């Protein structure tokens, strides 16, 4: 009787900090135990439903399915008692019988979240007046409401659900809970209710009990010993096999009747997620058109406009092919929706451009969504949409990062809050986060947690696994505290690993929007996001893709903001109007600049790795730039294609093809596979893959994380290897392709995406080449963005001969501007107030208004009389040394500013202290703290001249711009300020550091052995002094470090470090903050 | 950098003859605060402040008698009480003494420093901001304890943070560089309290002016000594004499109602001059005053000890040719631990336990040779925590009564082993499953052994025991049913 059990109450770990098992584990176990059905009902949401659906789908596709059916529901709190132990919270489980019921459930869940993400609840009074058709309800054998068997709500709920209201009856081998069985049976008898047997599952097997307890400790923010009342008494809330179920439940009176009820309920549950009908909005379609015909109309108009009424035959054929496919797959309204948004943005002068696989579409090009002209490139539309795959297309559009919010609010306004919502992003416990959470639960004190955090953040231990981090922590801790209390290091480690990947809370996707033609409640619940003015659905990008829903990615790109600003500046300062379309193609001076790797600040090809590649690749045309953008990625790097490609391009190696059949695919890339599309085509040509399988391969490598990598991708890779072997492909090439596939799983570019990015990269290079001053201020005025800090950008500008003018109380604006003393002279950059730490834009507006009225200020007192600023704003100005031009040194101005408010101060000026003049390095250091950079002498030069602390004579050190003259393979000494540190996963433990001195950059490379020896210095020193072997290929260089020098004398020779240490509570100031690139 | 040892003649540190008003004394081991003066304040762990001018004339008199310098007068005394590792700073303001003491401790300084000496003054000027701010950490607590007017910890902290940011921005390495700033300037910029601290720190001859002085009450431990005119070995005689001694001891307490004894030491000298120390301890704080005039409780405990002592001595010395019981020739009774209990506390108890006269029970327990306790079931599903041992009559309604698992405790026996005993082969005529339970798995390294099944095992004699089986199948006996 129990062999085909129906389980009705089951929480996944998407019942955040309650359920202690992944959806996959629950589905797999229920399936393997031969259950007939499993009903997922997470607390207050549908968070885990789509994951469970995907898991069951996986089992079905891989012939592992044993008949398990999934039922869908949710457990809703009846009041905001979430802080109580789970056993005392009053809840009600609602299960969907059909689609109507599912819609009603989503409506109730959305209402439950009316006040925010936390404490979602559905008051009984609201529920009793709600539409619950298609739903049935179960009262769990938990909560305080259950204890009152005479309560009237039983009768009310029975009436509301038209008799479909049941009591849950669970047995967990605990006498206290066993007593509830009696109460439940009495309640059932009293109110003539049926009861159903359920295990009330919170984890899939008993071993997960400790995770369940851990989650409670995290949820209540206490250590284990202090939150035992939140734990389940034992580990019985798991999925049991049939024989155990028999033993547990056959002692319950009327169990046969209850099992029969479960069977029939399961039969009545006719809803599955694949029944959800989904359509895109259609309001942009004018009368007289349907979606397809209107799309056709817009495409025709776009063709005429883009190709000046002479469209090439190839394009017309391609467009026709695409339109047929779009019609067959019924995707026209999706294209129209994206077109509508992009058109609106263009009308608002917001720069935007489609990226990713959408750039493979000619339709997208003529609609103005993407900028990749299909006439110039051989694009693969099937990479974007394919008949065989039938998957929804995914169009990602980049907008200016400073104006993306306008686009988002337009979408809400146009489609309504009930039909538009952002996609969720599930924030999970990972690495340091899970170690920290477990450490806290085990009672580790703040100091120990900070120490752990420091170790885990160290580049040396990053990605090295929980075990290594905990062991390093243990060694440090036991060395420092030999008498300290014993800590369960092993448990810390084990639990952190078990917690890894558990959902922590729901975030918001960076730009994914879901739109529908009907209220989203028909599809899934929504809740208000923590960011004001936004609502979010409860599923992630992967979930909605798996269910075939469309989403549009409204992404932000800092470079688009910078380019738009640059166009405006060029118009204003140089009286020249430029646009993305009017930038000339193939500008040779731009390519000459790129070849010299003068690309600080430009898009994509600015990183250290890209810059070292440029002199070797020497891009001379746009497609070279496309290759450059795509080749420095983990995919091609792991596929070991960079050196063969360079050799072929430079004529050092003949262009050959591993197989004749691959020539058309690899011709443009000299016989080397660089792009995702090529890997797909190779799989079809010589791997015995169908187009559908190749797409499946692409999808897997593109969208699955490392956790799923082995399960999902490996079978396909095995098939590919076998196929290539059968097709007599050279083993070396097969190995290379397989390596590349694994690399793509981390990060690889489709060609269309590389082309899209290259367009922006080229535009930014052109602007930098021809209007460098305008380019630099546009980048600086769009911060934060890009790879380099404002300091690095300004230093680069200075080296390129642009004069920099300091921030000035009487001349600067909020933004950086260009100034010149006469029309004959070149523009100089006047730094803006935006660099000043702690100064708000509103304050600057006030200052500028007053400045106009006062016609500038000649003294501090004059300034404060006019501008009544808050003390922190005034001190921020003083700390930036802005009152020097008004006659007060930084120290004097700070001393005066701290005495704000000013009126009494002006009456009795307190200048009793005779402040010492600042030393050179001290002054630079203060500049950095106050406004992120310094226009004084480069700190490296000052240290070399005045405060050299290293054991090697300063004369031995070379400067960066002399590297070109020095012989390769010789040892050289280098000293500089640390700009960027990188240790890409594909570099096999190598660490790359960029140093800056007064003349340029040093590129340092550390082998794992050298890094492990000196990592404490490399990770923590703002300046590095090294010796290493100079390596050079063409004009690019790097230094393979052999040794890092520590200070010879006391560290106080570098005040920058000493002061950071001595001021404990001050946020530590880093000179340069490296940023991740797009 | 340790200027005191590297640069200057150490004698200079102790030069100066101006009588200091305050001393800050730190000893890493332990410290009795009342060595130099009856007026003291506890500042931190093993760190006390003394106000010396309360006994100024005594010290000046001593100095005059010994014809020595002040440092030479204080240092041997401090060494005698505190050993070699103490740090003591003598000065005219307690805050300055504390600041300088912090400085010396952080620079591994040891010994005595007279702050008003020229050299110490010079060193004092070099102390850095970190020292100045660190010393303020305990100050905030004392200001709260002293109910300092207008002091708020959170705003004080934010003022401190602002001042730290200011000095970092301005790049002033030590307060000395800013000594030209008067306290008013600091107050205006960083608030009243930092201004006051500035004044205490750097203004000559500033009085206490808001410094939170909290006087420490002095402790005295009473004791009595008795030299017997003739050796005694019969309890009847000893009892009479001890009663007299307890009465003398009682007289030494000056707050009879408040002072209670936890422990006394009875040091006995035997007829053969052997010294034996035995302890009279009480389960509950015991008031000699309330036990007047018979001191029955103390005498009961003394009698148990006496019986034990005699028995042990007989066992040890049975083969020697000694009197039947070794006579005592003198003894000393010394209070080791005492506790001050306000009378109000007793009244509170009396009200709460109106029906059962709690004091009588406690007094009875004090008279008994064995503990007198009972058990109460507790709101925990962990067997180890499901019972608490409590004094008789203190059973309360369970505060966690609404938690579902608390009722499960009723199924557990009233006697349980502190350490469960392994059972090799459990043979039982009846085996009743009770419950499945977790243990505190996070206390062991092996989290998977977290589940236990509990059973009642009945043997052939009808005895029931409470036993559990681990996941690994081993059996352990946890308790016995009566």
Q: List the single range of A304-318, A612-626, B344-358 with lowest mean pLDDT.
A: B344-358
Mutation choice for B interface testing from A174, A837, A907 by most B CBs within 10 A: A174
- C-alpha to C-alpha distance for A510 and A425, rounded to whole angstroms: 8
Q: Do A926 and B171 touch (CB under 8 A)?
A: yes
Look at residue A985 in the predicted model and tell me its pLDDT: 66
Mutation choice for A interface testing from B137, B169, B182, B202 by most A CBs within 10 A: B169
CB contacts, 8 Å: B168 with chain A? 929, 1059, 1063, 1066
Nearest CA in chain B to A232: B438
DSSP letters, A923-962, are: HHHHHHHHHS--SSS-HHHHHHHH---SSS-GGGEE-GGG
Mean local confidence (pLDDT), A406-410? 92
CATH class of B223-347: alpha beta
Query: Residue B405 — pLDDT band, cuts 50, 70, 90?
Result: low
- C-alpha to C-alpha distance for A1051 and B410, rounded to whole angstroms: 67
Percent of chain B with pLDDT over 90: 15
In this complex, the residue of A905, A926, A1065 whose CB is nearest that of residue B169 is A926
Mean local confidence (pLDDT), B98-122? 87
CB contacts, 8 Å: B188 with chain A? 899, 905, 910
Determine contact, residues A949/A706, Cβ cutoff 8 Å: no
Determine contact, residues A35/A239, Cβ cutoff 8 Å: yes
Give the gap in angstroms from C-alpha B380 to the nearest C-alpha of chain A: 7
Does position B4 have pLDDT exceeding 50, yes or no? Answer: no
Nearest CA in chain A to B379: A229
Look at residue B216 in the predicted model and tell me its pLDDT: 78
Look at residue B399 in the predicted model and tell me its pLDDT: 41
Query: Residue A483 — pLDDT band, cuts 50, 70, 90?
Result: low
Which residues numbered 336-395 in B keep a CB inside 8 Å of some CB on A?
A: 379-382, 385
- C-alpha to C-alpha distance for B199 and B197, rounded to whole angstroms: 5
- A617 C-beta neighbours (distance < 10 Å), count: 24
Look at residue B417 in the predicted model and tell me its pLDDT: 72
Torsion over CA: A959, A960, A965, A968 (sign): positive
Element (H, E) at A96: strand A91-96
Q: What are phi and psi of A767, to 5 degrees?
A: -65, -40
In this complex, the residue of B165, B166, B442 whose CB is nearest that of residue A442 is B442
Does position A1049 have pLDDT exceeding 80, yes or no? Answer: no
Q: Do A875 and B438 touch (CB under 8 A)?
A: no
Does position A707 have pLDDT exceeding 50, yes or no? Answer: no
- C-alpha to C-alpha distance for A109 and A128, rounded to whole angstroms: 15
In this complex, the residue of A180, A490, A879 whose CB is nearest that of residue B169 is A879
Query: Residue A1052 — pLDDT band, cuts 50, 70, 90?
Result: very low
Query: Residue A106 — pLDDT band, cuts 50, 70, 90?
Result: very high
CB contacts, 8 Å: B453 with chain A? 173
B445 touches chain A (CB under 8 A): yes
Mean local confidence (pLDDT), A219-239? 91
Nearest to B472 by CA among B444, B445, B458, B452: B452
In this complex, the residue of A175, A1062, A1066 whose CB is nearest that of residue B408 is A175
Do the strands B87-91 and B111-114 form a parallel or antiparallel pair, or are they unpaired? Answer: parallel
Mutation choice for A interface testing from B137, B190, B405 by most A CBs within 10 A: B405
Mutation choice for A interface testing from B178, B382, B442 by most A CBs within 10 A: B442
Look at residue A26 in the predicted model and tell me its pLDDT: 97
Query: Residue A774 — pLDDT band, cuts 50, 70, 90?
Result: very high
Q: List the single range of A248-252, A376-380, A475-479 with lowest mean pLDDT.
A: A376-380
Does position A951 have pLDDT exceeding 70, yes or no? Answer: yes
Helices (H), A458-575: 466-480, 489-499, 541-546, 558-569
- C-alpha to C-alpha distance for A320 and A322, rounded to whole angstroms: 5
Query: Residue A1064 — pLDDT band, cuts 50, 70, 90?
Result: very low
In this complex, the residue of B165, B402, B437 whose CB is nearest that of residue A1066 is B165
Instruction: Read off the pLDDT of residues A865-922 as tens digits, 9 standing for 90 and up.
Output: 888 889 999 999 999 999 998 888 999 899 988 887 755 555 555 667 788 888 888 8
What SS3 class is residue B468?
A: strand
B185 touches chain A (CB under 8 A): yes
What's the ipTM? 0.74
In this complex, the residue of A174, A491, A891 whose CB is nearest that of residue B445 is A491
Instruction: Read off the pLDDT of residues B24-74 as tens digits, 9 standing for 90 and up.
Output: 999 877 666 766 776 788 898 888 998 887 667 667 766 776 777 888 878
Does position B253 have pLDDT exceeding 80, yes or no? Answer: no
Does position A203 have pLDDT exceeding 90, yes or no? Answer: yes
In this complex, the residue of B181, B380, B405 whose CB is nearest that of residue A913 is B181
Give the gap in angstroms from C-alpha A713 to the nearest C-alpha of chain B: 32
Q: Do B166 and A875 touch (CB under 8 A)?
A: yes
Torsion over CA: A149, A153, A155, A157 (sign): negative
Mutation choice for B interface testing from A147, A176, A230 by most B CBs within 10 A: A176
Mean local confidence (pLDDT), B422-444? 83
In this complex, the residue of B379, B447, B451 whose CB is nearest that of residue A494 is B447
Instruction: Read off the pLDDT of residues A48-98 as tens digits, 9 standing for 90 and up.
Output: 999 999 999 999 988 999 999 999 999 999 999 999 999 889 999 999 999
Go through chain B and tell me how many residues it has.
482
User: Which carries the bigger pLDDT value, residue A196 or residue B477?
Assistant: A196
CB contacts, 8 Å: A1059 with chain B? 168, 171
Instruction: Read off the pLDDT of residues A112-163 as tens digits, 9 standing for 90 and up.
Output: 999 887 899 999 999 999 999 999 999 999 988 777 777 889 999 999 999 9
Instruction: Read off the pLDDT of residues A345-359 as tens digits, 9 standing for 90 and up.
Output: 999 999 999 987 788
Give the gap in angstroms from C-alpha A923 to the nearest C-alpha of chain B: 9
DSSP state, A44? T
Does position A1037 have pLDDT exceeding 70, yes or no? Answer: yes
Domains of chain A, CATH where assigned: 6-172+190-271 (3.20.20.140), 291-422+507-557 (3.30.1900.20), 430-500 (no CATH), 579-766 (no CATH), 802-922 (1.10.150), 939-1062 (2.40.50.140)
DSSP letters, A565-594, are: HHHHHIIIII-----TTTSPTT-HHHHHHH
- C-alpha to C-alpha distance for A16 and A13, rounded to whole angstroms: 6
Instruction: Read off the pLDDT of residues B326-352 as tens digits, 9 standing for 90 and up.
Output: 788 899 998 877 665 544 334 333 333
Does position A1039 have pLDDT exceeding 80, yes or no? Answer: yes
Give the gap in angstroms from C-alpha A443 to the nearest C-alpha of chain B: 11
Look at residue A237 in the predicted model and tell me its pLDDT: 95
B27 touches chain A (CB under 8 A): no
DSSP letters, B11-56, are: GGGG---SPPSEEEEE-SS---TTSS-S-EEEEETTEEEEEGGGGH
B230 touches chain A (CB under 8 A): no
Q: Do B178 and A913 touch (CB under 8 A)?
A: yes
Mean local confidence (pLDDT), B122-145? 89
Give the gap in angstroms from C-alpha A459 to the nearest C-alpha of chain B: 29
Instruction: Read off the pLDDT of residues A646-703 as tens digits, 9 standing for 90 and up.
Output: 899 888 888 888 778 888 888 888 888 888 778 778 888 888 888 777 777 777 665 4
Look at residue B210 in the predicted model and tell me its pLDDT: 85
Look at residue A300 in the predicted model and tell me its pLDDT: 92
Look at residue A1076 in the predicted model and tell me its pLDDT: 28
Mean pLDDT of chain A: 86
Does position A1066 have pLDDT exceeding 50, yes or no? Answer: no
CB contacts, 8 Å: A1066 with chain B? 164-165, 168
Look at residue A974 in the predicted model and tell me its pLDDT: 95
Q: Do B403 and A229 touch (CB under 8 A)?
A: yes
Give the gap in angstroms from C-alpha B100 to the nearest C-alpha of chain A: 19
Q: Do A234 and B438 touch (CB under 8 A)?
A: yes
Mean local confidence (pLDDT), B152-171? 91
Look at residue A404 in the predicted model and tell me its pLDDT: 92
Does position A306 have pLDDT exceeding 60, yes or no? Answer: yes
Query: Residue A1060 — pLDDT band, cuts 50, 70, 90?
Result: very low
Q: Do B170 and A233 touch (CB under 8 A)?
A: no
Does position A552 have pLDDT exceeding 60, yes or no? Answer: yes
Q: What is the largest CA-CA distance in chain B?
A: 93
Q: Do B164 and A144 touch (CB under 8 A)?
A: no
Query: Residue A166 — pLDDT band, cuts 50, 70, 90?
Result: very high
Q: Do A175 and B182 touch (CB under 8 A)?
A: no
Nearest CA in chain A to B382: A233
Q: Do A930 and B433 touch (CB under 8 A)?
A: no
Which residues numbered 120-179 in B keep a CB inside 8 Å of some CB on A?
A: 128-130, 160-162, 164-166, 168-172, 177-178
Mutation choice for A interface testing from B400, B404, B407, B441 by most A CBs within 10 A: B404
Query: Residue A33 — pLDDT band, cuts 50, 70, 90?
Result: very high
Parse chain B into domains and list their residue ranges.
1-217, 223-347, 376-480
């Amino acid at each position: 009787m129990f062999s085909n059990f129906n389980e009705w109450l089951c929480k996944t770990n998407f019942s955040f900090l309650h359920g202690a098992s992944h959806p996959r584990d629950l589905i797999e176990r229920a399936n393997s135990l031969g259950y007939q059905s499993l009903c997922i009902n997470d607390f207050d949401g549908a968070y885990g439903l789509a994951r469970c659906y995907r898991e069951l789908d996986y089992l079905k596709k891989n012939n592992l399915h044993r008949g398990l059916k999934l039922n869908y529901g949710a457990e809703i709190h009846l009041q905001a008692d979430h802080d109580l132990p789970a056993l005392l919270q009053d809840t009600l489980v609602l299960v969907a019988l059909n689609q109507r019921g599912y819609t009603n459930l989503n409506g109730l869940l959305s209402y439950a979240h009316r006040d925010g993400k936390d404490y979602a609840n559905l008051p009984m009074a609201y529920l009793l007046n709600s539409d619950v058709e298609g739903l049935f309800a179960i009262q769990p054998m938990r909560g305080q409401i259950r204890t009152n068997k005479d309560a009237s709500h039983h009768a009310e709920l029975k009436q509301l659900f038209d008799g479909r209201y049941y009591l849950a009856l669970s047995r967990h081998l605990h006498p206290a809970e066993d007593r509830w069985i009696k109460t439940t049976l009495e309640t059932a008898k009293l109110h003539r209710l049926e009861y159903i047997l359920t295990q009330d599952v919170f984890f899939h097997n008993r071993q997960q009990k400790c995770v369940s307890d851990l989650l409670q400790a995290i949820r209540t923010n206490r250590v284990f010993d202090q939150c035992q009342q939140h734990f389940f008494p034992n580990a019985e809330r798991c999925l049991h096999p049939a024989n155990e179920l028999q033993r547990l439940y056959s002692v319950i009176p009327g169990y046969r009747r209850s099992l029969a009820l479960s069977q029939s309920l399961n039969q009545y549950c006719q809803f599955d997620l694949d029944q959800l009908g989904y359509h895109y909005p259609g309001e942009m379609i004018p009368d007289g058109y349907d979606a397809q015909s209107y799309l056709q109309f817009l495409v025709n108009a776009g063709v005429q406009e883009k190709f000046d009424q002479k469209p090439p035959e190839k394009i017309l054929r391609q467009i026709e092919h695409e339109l047929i496919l779009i019609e067959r797959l019924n995707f026209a309204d999706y294209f129209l929706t994206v077109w509508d948004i992009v058109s609106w943005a263009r009308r608002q002068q917001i720069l935007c451009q489609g990226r990713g696989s959408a750039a493979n579409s000619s339709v997208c090009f003529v609609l103005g969504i993407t900028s990749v002209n299909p006439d110039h490139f051989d694009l693969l539309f099937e990479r974007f949409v394919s008949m065989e795959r039938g998957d929804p297309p995914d169009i990602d559009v980049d907008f200016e990062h400073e104006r993306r919010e306008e686009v988002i609010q337009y979408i809400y306004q146009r489609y309504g809050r009930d039909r538009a919502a952002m996609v969720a992003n599930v924030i999970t416990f990972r690495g340091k986060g899970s170690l920290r959470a477990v450490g806290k639960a085990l009672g580790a004190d703040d100091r120990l947690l900070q120490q752990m955090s420091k170790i885990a953040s160290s580049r040396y231990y990053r990605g090295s696994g929980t075990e290594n981090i905990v062991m390093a922590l243990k060694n440090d801790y036991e060395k420092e505290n030999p008498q300290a209390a014993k800590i369960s290091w092993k448990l810390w480690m084990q639990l952190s690993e078990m917690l890894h990947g558990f959902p922590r809370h729901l975030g918001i996707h960076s730009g994914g929007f879901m739109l529908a033609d009907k209220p989203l409640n028909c599809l899934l619940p929504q809740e208000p996001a923590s960011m004001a003015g936004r609502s979010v659905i409860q599923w992630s990008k992967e979930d909605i893709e798996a269910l075939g829903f469309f989403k549009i990615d409204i992404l932000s790109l800092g470079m688009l903001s910078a380019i738009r600003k640059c166009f405006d500046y060029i118009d204003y300062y140089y009286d020249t109007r430029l646009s993305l379309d009017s930038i000339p193609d193939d500008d040779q001076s731009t390519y000459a600049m790129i070849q010299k790797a003068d690309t600080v600040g430009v898009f994509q090809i600015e990183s250290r790795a890209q810059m070292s590649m440029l002199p070797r690749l020497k891009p001379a045309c746009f497609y070279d730039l496309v290759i450059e953008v795509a080749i420095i990625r983990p995919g091609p790097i792991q596929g070991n294609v960079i050196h063969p490609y360079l050799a072929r391009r430079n004529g050092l190696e003949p262009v050959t093809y591993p197989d004749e059949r691959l020539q058309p695919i690899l011709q443009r890339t000299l016989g080397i596979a660089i792009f995702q599309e090529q890997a797909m085509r190779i799989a079809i040509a010589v791997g015995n893959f169908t187009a559908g399988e190749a797409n499946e391969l692409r999808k897997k490598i593109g969208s699955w994380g490392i956790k799923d990598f082995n399960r999902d991708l490996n079978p396909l890779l095995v098939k590919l290897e076998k196929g290539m072997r059968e097709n007599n492909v050279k083993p070396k090439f097969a190995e290379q392709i397989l390596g590349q596939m694994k690399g793509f799983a981390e990060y690889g570019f489709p060609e269309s995406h590389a082309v899209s990015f290259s367009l922006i990269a080229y535009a930014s290079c052109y602007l930098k080449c021809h209007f460098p001053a305008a380019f630099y201020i546009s980048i600086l005025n769009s911060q934060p963005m890009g790879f380099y800090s404002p300091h690095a950008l300004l230093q680069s500008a200075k080296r390129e001969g642009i004069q920099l003018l300091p921030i000035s109380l009487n001349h600067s604006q909020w933004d950086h501007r260009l100034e010149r003393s006469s029309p004959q002279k070149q523009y100089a950059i006047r730094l803006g107030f935006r660099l000043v730490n702690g100064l708000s834009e509103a304050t600057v507006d006030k200052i500028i208004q007053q400045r106009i009225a006062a016609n500038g200020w000649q003294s501090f007192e004059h300034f404060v009389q006019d501008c009544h600023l808050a003390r922190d704003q005034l001190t921020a100005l003083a700390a930036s040394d802005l009152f020097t031009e008004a006659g007060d040194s930084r120290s004097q101005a700070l001393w005066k500013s701290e005495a704000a408010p000013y009126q009494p101060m002006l009456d009795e000026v307190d200048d009793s202290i005779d402040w010492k003049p600042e030393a050179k390095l001290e002054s630079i250091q203060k500049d950095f703290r106050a406004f992120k950079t310094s226009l004084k002498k480069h700190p490296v030069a000052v240290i070399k001249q005045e405060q050299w602390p290293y054991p090697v004579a300063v004369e031995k050190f070379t400067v960066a711009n002399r590297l070109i003259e020095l012989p390769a393979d010789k040892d050289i000494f280098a000293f500089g300020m640390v700009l960027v540190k990188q240790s890409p996963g594909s570099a096999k433990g190598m660490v790359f550091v960029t140093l800056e001195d007064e003349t340029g950059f040093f590129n340092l490379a550390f082998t794992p052995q050298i890094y492990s020896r000196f990592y404490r210095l490399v990770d923590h020193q703002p300046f590095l002094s090294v010796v290493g072997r100079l390596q050079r290929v063409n004009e690019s260089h790097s230094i393979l470090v052999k040794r890092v020098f520590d200070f010879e004398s006391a560290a106080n020779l570098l005040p920058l470090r000493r002061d950071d240490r001595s001021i404990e509570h001050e946020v530590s100031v880093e000179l340069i903050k490296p940023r991740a690139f797009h | 950098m340790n200027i005191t040892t590297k640069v200057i003649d150490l004698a200079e540190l102790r030069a100066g003859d101006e009588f200091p008003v305050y001393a800050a004394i730190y000893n890493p081991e332990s410290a009795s605060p009342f060595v130099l003066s009856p007026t003291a304040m506890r500042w931190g762990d093993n760190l006390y402040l003394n106000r010396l001018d309360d006994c100024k004339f005594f010290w000046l008199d001593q100095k005059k008698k010994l014809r020595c310098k002040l440092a030479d007068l204080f240092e041997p005394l401090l060494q005698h009480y505190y050993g070699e590792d103490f740090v003591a700073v003598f000065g005219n303001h307690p805050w300055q003494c504390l600041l300088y003491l912090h400085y010396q401790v952080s620079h591994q300084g040891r010994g005595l420093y007279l702050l008003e000496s020229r050299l110490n003054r010079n060193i004092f000027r070099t102390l850095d901001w970190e020292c100045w701010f660190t010393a303020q950490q305990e100050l905030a607590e004392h200001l709260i304890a002293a109910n300092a007017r207008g002091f708020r910890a959170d705003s004080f902290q934010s003022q401190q943070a602002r001042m730290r940011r200011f000095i970092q921005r301005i790049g002033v390495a030590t307060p000395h560089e800013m000594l030209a700033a008067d306290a008013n300037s600091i107050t205006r910029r960083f608030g009243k309290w930092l201004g006051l601290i500035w004044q205490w720190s750097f203004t000559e001859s500033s009085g206490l002016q808001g410094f939170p002085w909290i006087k420490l009450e002095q402790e005295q431990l009473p004791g009595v000594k008795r030299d017997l005119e003739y050796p005694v070995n019969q309890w009847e005689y000893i009892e009479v004499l001890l009663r007299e001694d307890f009465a003398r001891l009682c007289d030494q307490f000056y707050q009879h109602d408040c002072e209670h004894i936890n422990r006394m030491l009875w040091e006995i000298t035997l007829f053969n001059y052997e010294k034996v120390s035995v302890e009279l301890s009480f389960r509950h704080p015991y008031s000699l005053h309330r036990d007047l005039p018979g001191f029955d409780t103390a005498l009961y405990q003394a009698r148990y000890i006496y019986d034990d002592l005699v028995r042990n001595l007989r066992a040890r010395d049975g083969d020697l040719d000694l009197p039947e019981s070794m006579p005592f020739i003198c003894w000393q009774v010394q209070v080791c631990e005492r506790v001050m209990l306000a009378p109000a506390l007793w009244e509170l108890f009396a009200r709460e336990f109106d029906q059962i006269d709690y004091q009588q029970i406690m007094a009875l327990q004090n008279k008994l040779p064995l503990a007198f306790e009972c058990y109460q079931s507790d709101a925990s599903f962990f067997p180890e925590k499901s019972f608490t041992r409590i004094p008789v009559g203190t059973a309360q309604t369970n505060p966690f009564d609404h938690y579902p698992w608390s009722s499960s405790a009723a199924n557990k026996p009233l006697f349980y082993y502190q350490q469960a005993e392994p059972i090799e082969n459990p043979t039982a005529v009846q085996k009743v499953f009770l419950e499945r339970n977790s243990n505190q798995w996070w206390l062991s390294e092996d989290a998977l052994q977290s589940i236990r099944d509990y059973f009642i095992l009945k043997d052939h004699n009808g005895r029931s025991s409470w036993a559990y089986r681990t996941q690994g199948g081993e059996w352990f006996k946890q308790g016995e049913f009566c």
